[in-house]
A and B are shown apart, each in its own frame.
Chain A
Amino acid sequence: MHPAPSIILFTALSGLGFGLMVWLGLTPGDKSAWVMGTFCALALALSSAGLVSSTFHLGHPERALKALTQWRSSWLSREGIVAILTLGCFTLYAGFWVLLDQRIPVLGWLSAALALLTVYCTAMIYTQMKSVPRWNMGLTPVLFLGYALTGGAWLAGEVTWALWLTAALGLLQVAVWAIGDGRFADTGSSTGTATGLSPMGDVRLLEAPHSGPNYLLREMVHVIGRKHSQKLRVIGMICLALLPLALGLVFEVKHMLAGVIVLMHLAGLLVTRWLFFAEAEHVVGLYYGKR
């Protein structure tokens, strides 16, 4: 699939923002109004920046509100609605804390639950695609939730949780890559089943329907992005898990180091999110003799 920067940024940033909301909602500690205000502003900025950047890839962003109507069937619609509810609930929670110095834990718990649900909805948009076998498995939402909770824990300064979650996320990501690599073959789809000609013999494309590229090839058969996937996997794993773990276990994590680790985590997240799209193969490629 085409790794559109707007979608990579959206899923990465909004995941971090909603992840931070979970921690601020569940374990806010005894933060002063100023400190809490800064954390909440960061969470709201990340999640809403993500939502705004997701509208950049729309053909008609001015009609975006219509996307809130089809929650009965569409995960994208559900995501939009739950995201707005989350932002509203969390703003209320933060507002009471920061402006009125009133702490309402119930609102925090509700915000945390809604934030997790938003990330789950985001993940389900990809998980539901039977046409993209690498995404179409139960581990995809687990992975998205893992990223949100881990990044959120680093941002919230929950160092102990962050270290454990980073280790778990690293293992989970490796497992998802390993299982994902075999997903396309598991479906049994081939150019033979795509054309229905497999009972006659081996099928290969002799002539493509068009000499140049088209929307389908640009959007769904993106070969360049995954050319260096093995190298990118190693780079991603170093930034995402190995360096943060090494630094976090050897040194005492204070503000400066936490900032460095958060930036490393973000770099690793962007690399692995790029791979999430670039490595995903759509079955339509079979009609073109490509993957």
Chain B
Amino acid sequence: MKKPLLPLLSLLGALGAQASENLKEPLDFSYNTQIYGRPMIEAIPTWGSGGILGLGEIGGIGGSGELFTFLQSGYFALIFLAIIIAIPLVFLGHYMVIGPKRFSHEGKKIKVFNTFNIMVHWIAGIPFVLLCITGLLMVFGDALGGGAFIRFARDVHGLATIIFAIFGPLMFIMWVKHALFKMYDIDWMLILGGYLSKVKRPIPAGKFNAGQKMWFWVCTM
């Protein structure tokens, strides 16, 4: 929008040079009207490390630094704290109210998944657990004092990310077809997989039941 105007502006500028000299303006704002605004900061070229992603971004990706500051300063840690307290409480509540359900482990064992499935699941699962643990260590790093231990957690987090980034999507592709919604999932949802009673009955399921499917989508997304 402004570009085609530039030659015209500079011509006018040359004509009006005499006048602007008299004004003793220390800074010509005609080329960057927001010189004291955000563009000045955006004009900062890459320096030092080249940014988090090596792209030299300043103030967060796409200028989201302010939003990030707001969320990180008060909300992320609180959300994680709520999760790590609430989930065990829900489990405990379920155990107290419904109680354990025992199944016989006698009889012939059936191999449902092939070796490839099992391997991918393990290689995605181990880094997943590592990511959770080291991530929580970093989120609550202030309570843990920071320093070498949390730095180690950060390094483990980074390495686990690489492995999970390969085998996580692989696992997703492997099982996504079986994890799509089917009509019998409604039946499962109606009895919540039988989790809310001690009655033993067949669980409506294909390769996976609706509970496993929900877990699949939570873990891979």
A and B together in one complex? no
